[in-house]
Amino acid sequence: MTAVMQGIRVLEVAEHTFVPAASAILSDWGADVIKVEPAERGDAMRGIMSTGNLGLDGGAWHPLLQHSNRGKRSIGLDLSTPEGVDILYKLAATCDVFLTNKLPAVRSKLRIDVDDIRAANPNIVYVRGSGFGSRGPDADRGGYDVLGYWCRAGVAYGAKPVEFEAIPGQPAPAYGDSIGAMTIAGGISAALLHRERTGQPPVVDVSLLATGMWAMGAAIALSHELNHPWGQFPVGTDVGNPLVATYQTSDGHWLQLACLQGFHYWPETCRVMGLAELVDDERFADVASFAANSPVARSILAERFASAPLAEWKQRLGDFRGQWAPVQDSIEVTADPQVIANGYVVQAEAASGEKHPLVATPVQFDDEPAPTRRAPDFNEHGDAILTDDLGMDWDDIIDLKVKGVVA
């Protein structure tokens, strides 16, 4: 793949997923990313041993950390010390991008706000990721994606079936974070282009709230036109088109039809499913009768789909011109032939030599998936960064280690 970010250096002071995953994308695109971690403990993500109902075994491979920190170099710095922040400034002077998810008060206390970093490098693109935005009453409030993206932006309410009393949880760990990370990566790319064309490096702001609202943008616009909040239909609601529905197969799997021009695809659907007698059925003779008798058609199709396993329906629908997809879980999707053909899953090699699957960065350049490398161990590159990148001598480095300034 064309390494579109080759030659770009990124300095990250961030933890968890939202902002770190953005620089992981840039790393996959060819950027050199230096991850600054707290000297005494590293990124807080390193200590997370469970998510939802899934526990981690505490081994060397931490999949959550790998997703958002692939390909980076790590150094442990105590930014509460003058010596630590001075090292950060020296690194910033060599970089094109600085990104952080620290809250305003923390940025001010550590002296890593825009003016501080720009004093070390006036040409650097400064990037802030936040829960709720850089202005307003909650600008100083921290927030995870379940709060800013999922709940506050209207996503959770929009995903809730009306008959459910509880609000559903996010479908995956770091779900909003990962979507937001793509937004940050795009913002950085645009900022670098602007700097290239004008010589002016912008300050980039992305929040989880804004990202969630963008994902809900069509629903929000529609809601205001209709003066009614967006929400899911009750489970099993007929929408006047039996070819926009989810059907269960005999082996307990599910298949989604999404033929928006249902009447157009109805004859072919009948033939593919062995229901050719329905092609000329007067109940489905025209668009109006097709819509009016949609519940009947759904019942017929549901019974038919339930008569065979998913594998058989995949084969029978292989040449079907209408739109459909199997409903897959997070393991099944990695074995999908379309996923494999496009390189949407890559194998990252651990320090031990073992290979582990990671989802590839979704943007491809020149028809090739982005390669990836494992995430660094804590402070794995600290000594090399100090000696090779900054030219420091060992006497000074040892003194800083004794003081706890560097890991």
From first to last of its 407 residues, what are the pLDDT tens digits of the chain? 789 999 999 999 999 999 999 999 999 999 999 999 999 999 988 988 777 666 776 677 899 999 999 999 999 999 999 999 999 999 999 999 999 999 999 999 999 999 999 999 999 999 999 999 999 999 999 999 999 999 999 999 999 988 888 999 999 999 999 999 999 999 999 999 999 999 999 999 999 999 999 999 999 999 999 999 998 888 878 889 999 999 999 999 999 999 999 999 999 999 999 999 999 999 999 999 999 999 999 999 999 999 999 999 999 999 999 999 999 999 999 999 999 999 999 999 998 899 999 999 999 999 999 989 999 999 999 999 999 999 999 999 999 999 999 99
* 108 occurs within a structural domain: yes
**Cα(360)–Cα(24) distance, rounded to whole angstroms?**
11
In the listed set 321, 353, 376, which residue is the last one of a domain according to the structure? 321
Closest CA to 88 of 403, 401, 399, 405: 405
**Helical residues (DSSP H) of 29-173, grouped into ranges:** 63-69, 82-92, 104-110, 114-120, 145, 155-159
397 and 387 Cβ atoms separated by less than 8 Å: yes
Number of independent structural domains in the chain: 2
**Are 356 and 393 part of one and the same domain?**
yes
CATH number of the structural domain spanning residue 204: 3.40.50.10540
* 71 occurs within a structural domain: yes
**Are 210 and 74 part of one and the same domain?**
yes
102 and 108 Cβ atoms separated by less than 8 Å: no
Write out the residue range of the structural domain in which residue 114 sits: 9-217+343-403
**Cα(200)–Cα(320) distance, rounded to whole angstroms?**
52
**Are 252 and 352 part of one and the same domain?**
no
**Are 271 and 198 part of one and the same domain?**
no
* 379 occurs within a structural domain: yes
Closest CA to 310 of 332, 326, 329: 326
Q: Is beta strand 345-349 parallel, antiparallel or unpaired with respect to 355-359?
A: antiparallel
Whole-angstrom Cα Rg for the chain:
26
* 2 occurs within a structural domain: no
**Are 184 and 285 part of one and the same domain?**
no
